[in-house]
Amino acid sequence: MAQLSPLLKQATPVVVDHGEGAYLYDVDGRRHLDFTAGIGVTSTGHCHPKVVSAAQEQVGKLIHGQYTTVMHKPLLELTRRLGEVLPRGLDSLFFANSGSEAVEAALRLSRQATGRPNVVVFQGGFHGRTVAAASMTTSGTRFGAGISPLMAGVHVAPFPHAYHYGWDERTATEFALRELDYLFATMSAPNETAAFFIEPMLGEGGYVPANPEFLAGLRERADEHGILLVMDEIQTGFGRTGRFWGHEHFGARPDVVLIAKGLASGFPLSAVAASEELMGKAWPGSQGGTYGGNAVACAAALATLEVIQEEGLVENAAARGAQLLGGARAIGEKTAAIGDVRGLGLLVGSEFTTPDGKPDNATAQAAQKAAAERGLLLLTCGAYMNVVRMIPPLVVSAEQIDEALEIWADVVQSVAK
């Protein structure tokens, strides 16, 4: 009898039967409040009726139509609709199936468009698990472990992680920008650099928002040296942070935006958006793949976008995010076990630390486990996996946030020494 590979490490013993909104129901009929949303994917909630019926209708019409031969309506319509929500000028798009594929596609695009070999990524960033994306990932050593040689041409610059450095935001930002210039002077001349790849908020790296000064500094250097600014909005995009795009909080203008996760409410779909001029500098045939822009996934994405707009989910993410961050901060302040609580919209992380300020992975894991036993599903993140993160769907209600915070307060009290 076949068994699931032990490589698929599961944080809870839950086997799900079905999902509805912010809840998952397991095979024993138990209800779980899902503050993971499939790692920020099921933004419209599990099985939103509009997404379900759009997908069902599409399945009966056309499941797959390959764009090298034919286009289909959902793909064209989604392209048009995304053009309305993307930053101005980013009006050329193509589709893939996962975040990692979008990252790799943007890497190829940047190298082809600039003719330069190197990319600069930021410490603690996560961009995926395929070999190139893993080579660009520094949110933990495990992603590149045992798969060397990693891709050459990746340089890592500091991210303004003020809490980690023990500095204020301004000092951390000045340091990060100065180190970036030092990297240019010592490792990778700017005219050898194709692109910066950055998340507007470190996701897997521990829920650390960037800031306007830092992103303005990147934009300035990008403009000065002809480097592309690739904004990885895979975890932060599509309303998750309380703005449609995470980078909107910081006022930076990207050259390329990467979209996945919340885009299609759980159907595998990702997208790369750039200006037509930039896309025109890349080589046809080097992008895309068999399944990119699948008809059912595109129909689900169209319904997702409609639900987000009709139900005011970006506004809900902002309001419920403020409630969640405020509540988590109040809980964090009551215990020495939590050193910092950070977030943007419905991405909120509580960083567990020992009394002498060291990362405390054991207590974070214990908190995650205790929460799951109480019916609240959470994830961990950060280089030390000591940050417990909450990522409810964007449809989450004020009552559900209260329900989660009540469980979280008990959990923290029970695991904190």
Closest approach, Cβ 137 to ligand PMP, in A, equals 8
Helix (H) or strand (E) holding 110: helix 99-114
Binding mask 95-114 for ligand PMP (x = CB under 6 A): ---xxx--x-----------
Binding mask 311-350 for ligand PMP (x = CB under 6 A): ----------------------------------------
CA triple 387-390-393, angle to 5 deg: 155
Q: By CB neighbour count within 10 A (0-12 exposed, 13-18 middle, 19+ buried), where does 68 fall?
A: exposed
Closest approach, Cβ 240 to ligand PMP, in A, equals 10
Query: How many beta carbons lie within 10 A of that of residue 132, not counting itself?
Result: 19
Query: Among 128, 78, 139, which Cα is nearest to 105's?
Result: 128
Closest approach, Cβ 99 to ligand PMP, in A, equals 2
Stretch that binds ligand PMP, among 18-26, 57-65, 121-129, 223-231 (CB under 6 A): 121-129
Query: How many beta carbons lie within 10 A of that of residue 84, not counting itself?
Result: 9
- What distance in Å separates the CA atoms of residue 21 and residue 1, rounded to the nearest whole number? 35
Closest approach, Cβ 207 to ligand PMP, in A, equals 11
Taking CB atoms, the residue at the shortest distance from ligand PMP is 99
Stretch that binds ligand PMP, among 87-95, 176-184, 229-237, 338-346 (CB under 6 A): 229-237
Q: Does 235 bind ligand PMP (CB under 6 A)?
A: yes
- What distance in Å separates the CA atoms of residue 166 and residue 101, rounded to the nearest whole number? 35
Site for ligand PMP in 255-294 (CB under 6 A): 260
Stretch that binds ligand PMP, among 108-116, 230-238, 352-360, 405-413 (CB under 6 A): 230-238
Site for ligand PMP in 1-60 (CB under 6 A): 39
- What distance in Å separates the CA atoms of residue 240 and residue 315, rounded to the nearest whole number? 10
Q: Does 118 bind ligand PMP (CB under 6 A)?
A: no
Q: DSSP for 282-312, please give it.
A: S-TTSS--SSTT-HHHHHHHHHHHHHHHHTT
Q: Smaller CB distance to ligand PMP: residue 39 or 85?
A: 39
Closest approach, Cβ 101 to ligand PMP, in A, equals 7
Stretch that binds ligand PMP, among 52-60, 197-205, 276-284, 407-415 (CB under 6 A): 197-205
Tell me the CA distances in angstroms from 389 to 105, 265, 409, one per residue in order.
Answer: 28, 20, 14
Query: How many beta carbons lie within 10 A of that of residue 15, not counting itself?
Result: 9
Q: Which residues bind ligand PMP (CB under 6 A)?
A: 39, 98-100, 103, 126-128, 199, 203-204, 232, 234-235, 260
